[in-house]
Structure 1
Amino acid sequence: MDAVLSLNNISKSYGPIQALKNVSFEVPPGTVFGILGPNGSGKTTLLSIILDVLKANNGNFLWFGHAGSPEQRKRIGSLLETPNFYHYLSAVDNLKITQSISKRGNLQDIDIALKKVNLFDRRKSRFSTFSLGMKQRLAIAAALLGSPKVLVLDEPTNGLDPVGIAEIRNLIVELKNNGHTIIMASHLLDEVEKVCTHVAILKSGTLITTGDVDDVLMDEDLVEVKAADINALAAALKQFGSDIIINNEAGTVLLKLPKGKAHPEEINSYCFSQGIVLSHLLLKKKRLEARFFELTNN
């Protein structure tokens, strides 16, 4: 299927500061696509460009295979900044104002949007009585007016407590399962790992990598081993076909293996067959944070 969004060499500068540098990637339909990177990596700038809030210095982007138009824009709901609602008005009345200003959807869409974000039962409650998670869900309801096929969300869990974070994560997955494509920026690896199917990683405005989350953030198994002769051990493990790291100070050798491929009994048996008796064998799990650190610090 055609990409929902295609970016081609998007660049943006603020004076001498280059916020984005020739960024290109595609967002497949029906995915939760995370734009991941540290603060200051260009995530919000990129979202602002694809929503026509900012203009790129170079490059172009296509929505649904075409240049942007008012009709296509109606197929995209967005949440870029902290939502602003009237504290003394109810959820329904706030969304009526939003609908009147945006001209997206109709009054019947308000109830539909509130049901999607699980706020229909609180539709007559004042905004001031809502928790942080409920306020963010109401903002997403505002983005859902007009039943857009795509939602663009900037740091949707930012500032929320653990309960609110869980609420928004569950909502994003539910929206994806109901046929929406979600494009979301985040600096939280854990968030991307839990809800995203695809990811693009930015560092200082440069695209580091993009693809399926499982491929980009592929975890690794690490096996730490030790024997009396560390050099003989290292030589044997190189023949085993492993990527190894020798720690002479600790007297250990660290094997890097694809996720799920480390079988300690096989390693022990292989070493013994080479005349090496292991005095230490420990299976470790490389944290995804370490993989992200590798990608953004090379």
Structure 2
Amino acid sequence: MILSVNNIHKSYGKEEVLKGISFDINNSEIVALVGPNGSGKSTLLNIINNLLPANNGKFNILGGSNKDPEVFRKISFMQDNTVLYDYLTGYDHLQFIGDLQGITKKHIFETAERIGIDGYLNKKVGHYSLGMKQHLLLAMALINQPKLMILDEPLNGLDPTSAIKVREILLELAEQGTAILLSSHNLAEIDKVTSNILFLKNGVLIHEDLSAHKQVWYEIKVMDVEIGIYFK
């Protein structure tokens, strides 16, 4: 068992945001958590990573508790870019994690090159574009070679070429034995990397295996002429 989430409840005042969330990740697979902005995706990920308390529920992460610091040597959590410091360089961010995790300078540069941020690694983050920040966040999540990666909107702000590269990296990681839980508000962004989708709606999860759907209907409208394309 890589991750087991059991009956998680979370309320803010009288508003119940999460209503008994349960799911398991058993293998090195990519699982997507999909829902509209404000649906509670980030809240759930923060609770799993012990950054927010749940009102009720239990976790098992790689055989341990999400309150055990040692567990976080084996997992990583990619948050949004508000965790970055504008006055530090990309290398400073990676070196900080490296010092905590006992990671060599050589591995830091190898990770930066793999993600494609080596060209601006010594630039201050305050001068990064949104896409550059997303790449740095991914490098920070990857650098400790985790058994489980939890990624909050990893494709946000990426141009099509960069998004394709990130998807390729995620697929490669899954093939190498890393389990990945990622969130997105856009199903089209992640349908190329996983068929295991958890839809979060009104505080509950709807499990959906997209591989069960054999048929897809696309409709293209050009100059008021509609063309239907049918795939099976």
Shorter-chain TM-score: which interval?
Answer: 0.7 to 0.9
Residue pair 2:134, 2:156 contacting (<8 A) in 1 also: no
Residue pair 2:46, 2:52 contacting (<8 A) in 1 also: yes
1:84/1:66 Cα in 2 relative to 1: closer, same or farther (>3 Å)?
closer
% identical equivalent positions: 37
**Corresponding residue for residue 155 of structure 2:** 157
**Corresponding residue for residue 93 of structure 2:** 94
**Corresponding residue for residue 104 of structure 1:** 101
Q: Does 1:213 align with 2:210?
A: yes
What's the CA shift for 1:177? 2.9
CA distance in 1, matches of 2:52, 2:89: 32
CA distance in 2, matches of 1:193, 1:64: 26
Aligned match for 1:54, one of 48, 52, 55: 52
Gaps spanning 5+ residues in structure 1: where? Answer: 223-282, 287-298
Residue pair 1:173, 1:195 contacting (<8 A) in 2 also: yes
CA distance in 1, matches of 2:101, 2:143: 6
CA distance in 1, matches of 2:64, 2:127: 42
**Structure 2 residue matching 1:110: 3-state secondary structure:** helix
TM-superposition CA deviations, 1:159-179 (whole Å, max 9, x none): 333344333323322332333
What's the CA shift for 1:12? 0.9
Q: Greater CA radius of gyration, 1 or 2?
A: 1
1:202/1:86 Cα in 2 relative to 1: closer, same or farther (>3 Å)?
closer
Residue pair 1:31, 1:197 contacting (<8 A) in 2 also: no
1:80/1:94 Cα in 2 relative to 1: closer, same or farther (>3 Å)?
closer
Aligned length: 220
Residue pair 1:156, 1:184 contacting (<8 A) in 2 also: yes
Tell me which amino acid in the other structure corresponds to 1:97.
Answer: F
What's the CA shift for 1:137? 1.4
1:186/1:23 Cα in 2 relative to 1: closer, same or farther (>3 Å)?
same
Aligned match for 2:135, one of 130, 134, 137: 137
Name the structure, 1 or 2, with higher relative contact order (CA <8 Å, separation 6+): 2
**Corresponding residue for residue 27 of structure 2:** 29
**Structure 2 residue matching 1:156: 3-state secondary structure:** coil
What's the CA shift for 1:87? 4.5
Question: What RMSD in Å do the two structures reach over aligned CA positions?
Answer: 2.7
**Corresponding residue for residue 79 of structure 2:** 80
What's the CA shift for 1:5? 0.6
TM score, norm. by length of structure 1: 0.65
TM score, norm. by length of structure 2: 0.81
CA distance in 1, matches of 2:216, 2:159: 32
**Structure 2 residue matching 1:190: 3-state secondary structure:** helix
What's the CA shift for 1:83? 5.0
Aligned match for 2:170, one of 132, 155, 172: 172
